């Protein structure tokens, strides 16, 4: 089993608490705004009446059925069809590059996995079907899953137990995403900041023509400012010479990474996609809440509750 620290347990509890404390209407709106509302191909996707219940705080006024309300003598909400996708595809880069260290000591795969847990927690509240796909240069594996959030966590933990010994193959993973037949299904791709560049933009455009896309982009540490860390190259295991650890080198790395991140964010925004970039699980959680809250606010809807800080895991060791 994967060792878990107190910090990682805390962030997992925070993720689960977010989903369980939100009302179902808020969960539906939160995910619906990100992916774009559209009819589902599942049952109740053709204007069939699914549910009739009294209006509650947090429900959208557009869902009030006035004829039913007049007969009942109070506002009633009628849900006629699923307005959001019935499946979420979660694509996780499991290449050895994901062993890179992040601020706070986590490894990139840990932050990426927690990002997926955030989407899973809300998606499962909405009764979506989740497909998890793990990929490196040796294989692309779809992991079967049925159940609730606890089962999803167990499945993800088992999938991550395997050693990350093969390099990534982002081209193959993006090609896999393009072949997903569930049109309009939300795709959540989790990787690190070094994986996707301008050479992949054509593939991203092809994906976004048929699917809403969220990119979980994990920032790794700047090795030139890690004076007190045992930083080593993820491929060779070699450590950086001490004379390279200076402000000039670290500044150049920061500037280059910021430029690439801005370029990627601009490309995703142009194609109607969402970038979630963070260097720790705590920061990823805050980014997740802020992203959804801003989307809801932009649509004139209720925002999510503010996130409280949780100490991150201290597990990663490599650059």
The alpha carbon torsion through 4, 234, 103, 251 (nearest 10 deg) reads 180
Domain map (residue ranges) of the chain: 6-25+85-298, 27-79
Q: What is the DSSP string of 234-273?
A: TTT-PBPPGGG-SHHHHHHHHHHHHHHHHHHHHHHHHTT-
Across the chain, which has 319 residues, the per-10-residue mean pLDDT values are 62 84 70 55 47 79 81 82 69 94 90 95 86 95 88 92 88 97 90 96 95 95 75 75 84 95 95 93 92 68 45 37
The answer to whether the beta carbons of residues 71 and 114 sit under 8 Å apart is no
- Gap between the Cα atoms of 276 and 284, Å rounded: 7
- Gap between the Cα atoms of 220 and 239, Å rounded: 16
Supply the pLDDT for residue 167. 93
Sign of the Cα pseudo-torsion (251, 254, 257, 261, in order): negative
Supply the pLDDT for residue 43. 44
List all residues 6 or more positions away from 125 whose beta carbon is below 8 Å from its beta carbon: 19, 20, 22, 24, 27
Supply the pLDDT for residue 33. 57
**Residue 102: what are its φ and ψ, rounded to 5°?**
-120, 170
- Gap between the Cα atoms of 19 and 29, Å rounded: 13
- Gap between the Cα atoms of 80 and 208, Å rounded: 27
Cα angle 294, 285, 306; round to 5: 55
For residue 111, CA distances in Å to 2, 79, 279 come to: 14, 36, 8
For residue 257, CA distances in Å to 136, 217, 235, 249, 273 come to: 23, 12, 20, 12, 20
Q: Put residue 188 in one of left, alpha, beta given phi > 0 → left and psi -120 to 50 → alpha.
A: beta
pTM for the full predicted model: 0.76
Exposure of 144 by Cβ count < 10 A (0-12 exposed, 13-18 middle, 19+ buried)?
exposed
- Gap between the Cα atoms of 225 and 292, Å rounded: 32
The answer to whether the beta carbons of residues 213 and 187 sit under 8 Å apart is yes
Supply the pLDDT for residue 171. 97
- CATH number for the segment(s) 6-25+85-298: 3.40.50.410
List all residues 6 or more positions away from 140 whose beta carbon is below 8 Å from its beta carbon: 133, 134, 172, 173, 176
For residue 35, CA distances in Å to 2, 83, 86, 197, 286 come to: 32, 11, 11, 23, 19
DSSP percent split of the chain into helix, strand, coil, nearest 5: 45, 15, 40
């Amino acid at each position: 089993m994967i060792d878990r620290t107190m910090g990682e347990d805390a962030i997992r509890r925070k993720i689960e608490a977010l989903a369980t404390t939100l009302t179902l209407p808020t969960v539906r709106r939160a995910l619906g705004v990100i992916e774009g509302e559209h009819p589902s191909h599942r049952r109740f996707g053709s204007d069939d009446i699914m549910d009739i219940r009294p209006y509650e705080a947090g429900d959208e006024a557009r869902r009030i059925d006035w004829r039913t309300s007049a007969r009942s003598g109070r506002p009633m909400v009628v849900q006629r069809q699923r307005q959001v996708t019935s499946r979420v595809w979660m694509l996780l880069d499991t290449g050895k590059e994901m062993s890179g260290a992040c601020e706070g000591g986590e490894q990139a795969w840990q932050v990426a996995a927690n990002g997926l847990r955030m989407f899973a927690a809300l998606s499962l509240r909405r009764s979506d079907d989740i497909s998890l796909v793990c990929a490196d240069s040796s294989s692309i594996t779809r992991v079967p899953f049925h159940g609730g959030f606890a089962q999803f966590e167990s499945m993800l933990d088992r999938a991550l137990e395997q050693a990350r010994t093969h390099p990534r193959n982002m081209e193959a993973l993006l090609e896999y995403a393009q072949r997903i037949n569930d049109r309009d299904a939300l795709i959540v791709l989790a990787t690190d900041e070094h994986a996707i560049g301008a050479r992949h933009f054509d593939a991203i455009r092809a994906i976004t023509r048929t699917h809403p896309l969220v990119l979980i982009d994990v920032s790794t540490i700047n090795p030139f400012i890690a004076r007190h860390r045992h930083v080593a190259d993820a491929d060779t295991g070699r450590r950086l010479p001490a004379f390279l650890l200076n402000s000039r080198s670290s500044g150049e790395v920061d500037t280059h990474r910021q430029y690439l991140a801005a370029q990627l964010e601009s490309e995703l925004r142009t194609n109607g996609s969402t970038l979630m970039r963070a260097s720790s699980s705590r920061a990823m959680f805050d980014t997740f809440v802020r992203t959804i809250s801003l989307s809801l606010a932009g649509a004139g809807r209720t925002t999510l509750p503010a996130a409280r800080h949780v100490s991150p895991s201290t597990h990663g060791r490599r650059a």
